[in-house]
Amino acid sequence: MFDRPALVSHARDTIARGSKSFAAASHLFDRATRERVWLLYAWCRVCDDIADAQELGGELGDQSGAAERLATIRRLTDLALAGLPTGRPEFDAFAVVVQECGITRSMAEDVIAGFALDAADWTPRSEADLLRYCFHVAGAVGVMMAVVMGVAPDDEDTLDRACDLGLAFQLGNIARDVAEDDRAGRCYLPAEWLAEADIPPGEQFRPLHRAALVGAVARMCRLAEDYERSARVGAARLGFRQRWAVLSAAGIYGAIARKVAAAGPRAWDRRVSTSGRAKLGFVAAALLRALPGAAPREASRPALSRRELHALAVARPAAALRPGAASPAE
């Protein structure tokens, strides 16, 4: 029904244009895993682009019509989960990887719930809210990636660790993109954090609040490092090539949060990125850590795990959340 080679080719081109870092790390996988990772990425990328009215993760477009865009994502994903053609190669790619790897409807719905939060113009009130959002838009993707890599769906702790890596990535992305989100009228810094820092809502970029903003973002970067350390424990349970790829990605993306924290008030003068030379260094360092016998450092579990965040989502679905709504932890 599906032209798999054509879908793989399209997905390869998508990841090459949409994420040079992820594309580079994906080449460390064996061929079968690499192709499935590309297919899954293509779906994640197009869902994000549809939700944000953007192209390949660029500047956010006109945010009107968010509910209709979300409905499109749901409709096409439902077709893909049923194994039916969608007319869109990215959703057909998802249909293929669902059939080959056993990705479930629940896993897909966890991701789509993140787009629903944005469509509801939702903002986090507490740290738990922030982590729940990161779970939907990145941690849940980490779970699907782990399944694609061969992790058993009932290996709960390893799936938790895979989710932790997604949480770390997203926390770093939010820290890097605070200025960009502010221009789009969004803020993912918890309202409670801003209140503790005496920053009035919507005024985080006023010069008199810059020092306090730096402190709040540094807090987010520390949280990202906690989740990254936890994720490295799970990576040690993967096969060698999967382990190498995941540890490479952890180094490359983890550097974002560390560079933002180190830059302080200059963090948003220009977009933080990782140079090609630095990426090669992370890949080389990951190779040493991936070698047999190279045990990871023990890491305590962060405050909230995948299963706890999923429980929060079930208890308080995205449709019930609006700006200023009570925290789901309350």
Q: Give the domain range for residue 1.
A: 1-101
Tell me the pLDDT band of 156, cut-offs 50, 70 and 90: confident
The helix (run of H) or strand (run of E) holding residue 66 is: helix 66-81
Q: Are residues 140 and 89 in the same domain?
A: no
What is the total count of domains within the chain?
2
Q: Are residues 212 and 69 in the same domain?
A: no
Phi-psi region of 130 (alpha: psi -120 to 50; beta: other; left: phi over 0): alpha
Structure tokens at 79: 């077709």
pLDDT at 19: 77
pLDDT at 324: 38
- How many residues are listed for the chain in this entry? 330
Q: Does any domain span residue 232? A: yes
Q: Are residues 182 and 292 in the same domain?
A: yes
Mean local confidence (pLDDT), 238-253: 88
Question: For 186-200, how does the pLDDT look when each residue is reduced to its tens digit (9 = 90+)?
Answer: 889 999 999 999 998
Dihedral angle, C-alpha 71, 309, 34, 52, nearest 10 °:
30
Of the two residues 319 and 117, the one the predictor is more confident about is 117
Q: Are residues 155 and 245 in the same domain?
A: yes
pLDDT above 70 covers a percentage of the chain that reads 85
CA distances from 264 to 137, 152, 193, 217, 326 (A): 26, 41, 17, 9, 31
Q: Are residues 146 and 277 in the same domain?
A: yes
Q: Does any domain span residue 207? A: yes
Mean local confidence (pLDDT), 34-53: 90
Look at residue 318 and tell me whether its pLDDT is greater than 90.
no
pLDDT at 330: 33
Q: Are residues 31 and 180 in the same domain?
A: no
Q: Are residues 126 and 95 in the same domain?
A: no
Q: Are residues 146 and 246 in the same domain?
A: yes
Q: Does any domain span residue 157? A: yes
CATH code, domain carrying 269: 1.10.600.10
Q: Does any domain span residue 117? A: no
Structure tokens at 158: 């390893």
CA 172 to CA 69: how far, in whole Å?
26
Q: Does any domain span residue 106? A: no
pLDDT at 268: 86
Q: Dihedral sign, CA of 307, 142, 108, 313?
A: positive
Mean local confidence (pLDDT), 216-225: 93
Q: Does any domain span residue 116? A: no
Q: Does any domain span residue 148? A: yes
CA 297 to CA 8: how far, in whole Å?
36
Say how many C-beta atoms besides its own lie within 10 A of residue 228's C-beta. Answer: 24
Mean pLDDT of the chain: 84
Question: For 7-21, how does the pLDDT look when each residue is reduced to its tens digit (9 = 90+)?
Answer: 999 999 998 887 777
Q: Are residues 211 and 129 in the same domain?
A: yes
Which of 51-55, 186-190, 260-264 has the least mean pLDDT? 51-55
Type of residue numbered 329:
A
Q: Does any domain span residue 112? A: no
Question: For 96-142, how does the pLDDT look when each residue is reduced to its tens digit (9 = 90+)?
Answer: 999 999 899 999 999 998 888 878 878 899 999 999 999 998 999 99
